Structure 1
Amino acid sequence: MFSKLRLSVKNGLLILFLLLSSLAFSQKINKLTPLQMKQDIDTLIHYLEETHINPYYRYPKDKFYKDVSLVKKNLTTELDLIDFYLKIEPLLAKLEDGHTDLPIPKTEYESKNPFELPYVFRLTPDKPYILCQSVKGSYTPQIPGNSEIISINGHSAKKIVNDIINLNTGETPVFRAEYGAENFSFFIEELYKTNGKYKIKYTHNSKVNSIVIDAVRQNELIANEDSYNKALPEEKKEVDKNFTLTIQNNIAIIDFKLFDWNGFKEFADSTFSVIKDKKIKNLVINLIDNPGGDSDVGDAFLQYFLDKPFKQYDRVDVKFSQLYKDRLRAHIGSKEPTKEQIETLTKKNGTIETLYLDNNSINDNPLRYNGNIYLLINSQTYSSAADFAQCFKFYKRGIIIGEETGGLIKSFGDIVTTHLPNSDLKYTISSTLYYNIGANENDFIGVIPDIVTSKEKALEKALEIIERSNSQLR
């Protein structure tokens, strides 16, 4: 039930204009009037405060309201959907809850066949702010790999990263920067109106260079990458799998990209059968860049190497709201609701209940692994992946290597989804506060690794520790 999956108007008036504005949904809105945008902001705040347990846990309510007033005051002309999004997303970013968010309106953006800068970038809130890691597809690189970007079109790398952090929700600046890197071209194009022209200053091998790059259209980039991947030898093609196993020098390495049920059980049984048959004594579980998913998958995975009753969450605070109930009704559909579901639907809106969770019992599992485990994490280990890591740490199952997780051990989640009435922007809001096992009242922190190193060196560090341990046993 508790699986983790990131108003200033009177209620009567709100309901009235929601009904009226819903009539416009069937038509595409090219421009939003100042009144429509202000109504959407009022709705955003209403749903936030009605649904979220404590939206102002880090950012004070009075400051938030002042920010809202300033944004509304400056809405004096019509804006298109994306420009309106860029105005209001920073409001939610201030709240530092990665599950309470307005996702980028990708459909609207991609309908323009936008410009793309065909490189992979890494962003960090500290110097070096932007690293150009590699070129995409078969394009000839005009910027060498691992070059440090100094500026783009006169905007400093520090400013660019800070602007992107302010347009992404999340609990830490590191996570928000790295998450923003996934949509780098969107932010560069829409924030600075570059129109596909990039004058880039960068350093490589201690030498400062400048270059002007013409962007490519998105459809061209997609076609190029598809063609490039098809031409690769089979062994070099990237396979889109949530879990993979490799054996290296009698060390098992599980790459866990997403906590998803699709194929999990078959993969886990097969993997731990191989590990048992080969008598492998060292296992590396890689959760680097794992954004989370379904925490029930984490419970099932933990059954393969924990031998005593366990739980990922000690306590859960749930707020029952209209949106929460609407989601439940949609889930029930035409089925007969259970007694528990009826009790939920009849609770007064605004009610908050605290639930203390029982341990998961240990299943009979002939494939249970008792060897050494090394868990790799980083700032992009988030949500259910971070919950898994905290459970692993609390029960002292092995050594954790890497960076502090972006997901916190006390965090909000279990999102409900709605849309703003005039813009139709999708809006997700946390309804639940999770206390991971071992978390205290003030622990809005990530999982701290036993050995701190960069995500690029985490696997190397694990293999080094295993080799050192094996050498001592010889």
Structure 2
Amino acid sequence: MKVLIAILTLNFFFVNIIWGQTPRRYSPSEMRQDVDSLIKYLIEAHPNPFYRYPKASFFKDVFRVKSHLNRNLDKMDFYLRIAPLLGKLDDGHTDIHIMQFYDSLNPIILPYNVKLSTKRPFINCLGPYKGIKTALPTGAEIISINNISAQKIVNDIIDLNTGESRLFRAEFGATRFYFYLEALYKANGLYHVKYKHNGIVKDITLKGIRKNILDELAKNQADGNVHSDPVYSLRLLNNNQTAVIDFKSFEWDGFKAFTDSAFTVIKERHVQNLIINLIDNSGGDSDVGDAFFQYILNKPFTQYAKVLEKNSALLKQRLLEHRLGKPLDSADKALLAKPNGSLDTEYVDKINIGDNPLRFNGRVIVLVNIETYSSASDFAQCFKYYKRGIVIGEETGGLIKSYGDIVTAHLPHSGLALTVSSKLYYNIGANENDWRGVIPDIYSSPDQALQRALKYIDGKK
């Protein structure tokens, strides 16, 4: 089913020479061939890449990019030229990926977490990496870095990201903020930061740290029993009357053990209210959502009404890779026999509810925000459609009608990885024009959503 592949994409120059190596450079002819391959894969595999951005405008952009490829470039600089092409398509699953290559070059990193926004404050400091002594106050509004305004930095990052909204692209870009500072502005590990904190504007100069040093520091922190928060966690509030399950992503690793343990506790403690926290959940495997619904629903359900699939050579290649060394079943053979370029619509059957002695029948509330994406937003939409409880928070960044289920290709000369959506998902309850997120029953800012839910439980609507 639908799997979020949310890999940040961008570029960088300085780190190409940190090991004293001459970076591989590509000729204009090679890069133009790569652009042509990108377009070929996109058109062949995507059900409708121009659902928002006009095809004619896109090809004008392609012509302009190709015409400016008039000198040799390395992989990073080539990436910077072509990444904005896909950003205009408003599909977060269709993307070019370079971060694995970039991180392998031991880059300089500004060791601070930030939040990016399309409105002021454009850049907000969330604090340093673990183990780093802070010099920039947590909560500070960053006004500029190296005399580049925060607003420009955010807009530049948005242009180099893919996603269904500008806010999504900004917030997703925050996860690799260090990369942009070097890729776009060649900071070379030195950052002159102007910031505002408690109403006072100050200047500070920060120095970056090599990735290998930060990795070693993180390892030492882990050895000292300092662990990051788990993907799934349970906490009890209100004298054990309310349980909160925090989901960071929809992953199978540890899911079954956690849910059985959590719902055993919930049953033994006679918990009356369950809050499922999907705030900042970027998604994952929607089958995890199906499995979780077995603990809270009591009637057949489906997260998707229908799925439109584009048959392509890349889709068939993915199937054969997954089936390598295994016999093909009748469904596999049927897919391989379909003509490339054809479209199929699959209407999704409901999933039956199995016997589950741990099923929870009390009140359920789901918390969401703009950073609830992909399979997490699919879960929230299904929950709302079947009226299992109420949704509190912001409209989700993940849409109830969206593209996904990526196929992968590599550009022939640069080797850049390209992912392309192969399917269009209609969440249950979605109509043809529903290019929107899940609408909450009660609006709340993310930082107040839990308290708003507790007030609702207390009857303070």
With normalisation by structure 1, the TM-score equals 0.90
Find 2:184's aligned residue among 158, 179, 191.
191
- The answer for the alignment partner of 1:86 in structure 2 is 80
Find 2:237's aligned residue among 224, 245, 248.
248
Which has the higher mean CA deviation after the structures are superposed, 193-202 or 244-253? 244-253
Find 2:48's aligned residue among 51, 54, 57.
54
| Deviation of 1:228 (Å) | 4.1
* 2:38 maps to 1:44: yes
- The answer for the alignment partner of 2:12 in structure 1 is none
Find 1:324's aligned residue among 315, 319, 327.
315
Distance 1:406 1:181 in 2: 15
Distance 1:120 1:444, change over 3 A: same
Find 1:382's aligned residue among 373, 379, 395.
373
Distance 1:73 1:418 in 2: 24
Give the alignment of 1:251-262 within 5 angstroms: 251-262=242-253
CA contact (8 A) 1:29 1:423 kept: no
Cα deviation digits, residues 346-396 of structure 1 (max 9, x gap): 111111011111111111212111111111112221111111010011111
Paired AA for residue 236 in structure 2: I
Paired AA for residue 129 in structure 1: F
| Deviation of 1:136 (Å) | 1.8
Cα deviation digits, residues 208-267 of structure 1 (max 9, x gap): 111122222222222333334544xx5xx3345321112223121111122122221222
Distance 2:99 2:195 in 1: 31
| Deviation of 1:328 (Å) | 1.0
- The answer for the alignment partner of 1:30 in structure 2 is 24
Distance 2:445 2:157 in 1: 22
Distance 2:43 2:289 in 1: 31
Instruction: State the Cα RMSD in Å.
Output: 1.7
Give the alignment of 1:196-345 within 5 angstroms: 196-231=189-224, 237-239=226-228, 241-249=230-238, 250=240, 251-345=242-336
- Residue segments in structure 2 that go unaligned for 5+ positions in a row: 6-21
* 2:89 maps to 1:98: no
Cα deviation digits, residues 12-60 of structure 1 (max 9, x gap): xxxxxxxxxxxxxxxx971111111111100000000000000000100
Distance 2:44 2:260 in 1: 44
- The answer for the alignment partner of 1:144 in structure 2 is 137
- Paired residue total: 443
Instruction: Specify the SS of the correspondent of 1:438.
Output: coil
* 2:343 maps to 1:349: no
Cα deviation digits, residues 416-470 of structure 1 (max 9, x gap): 111111111111110000000010101111111122222222223222333x23x
CA contact (8 A) 1:314 1:436 kept: yes
Which has the higher mean CA deviation after the structures are superposed, 403-412 or 137-146? 137-146
With normalisation by structure 2, the TM-score equals 0.93
Distance 1:140 1:337 in 2: 56
- Residue segments in structure 1 that go unaligned for 5+ positions in a row: 7-27
* 2:67 maps to 1:73: yes
Instruction: Specify the SS of the correspondent of 1:431.
Output: strand
Find 2:354's aligned residue among 357, 363, 366.
363
Q: Identity over aligned residues, as a percent? A: 53
Distance 2:318 2:125 in 1: 42
Distance 1:337 1:172 in 2: 39
Distance 1:169 1:3 in 2: 18
Distance 1:111 1:415 in 2: 24
Instruction: Specify the SS of the correspondent of 1:348.
Output: coil
Distance 1:122 1:319 in 2: 36
- The answer for the alignment partner of 1:21 in structure 2 is none
CA contact (8 A) 2:4 2:282 kept: no
Instruction: Specify the SS of the correspondent of 1:354.
Output: strand
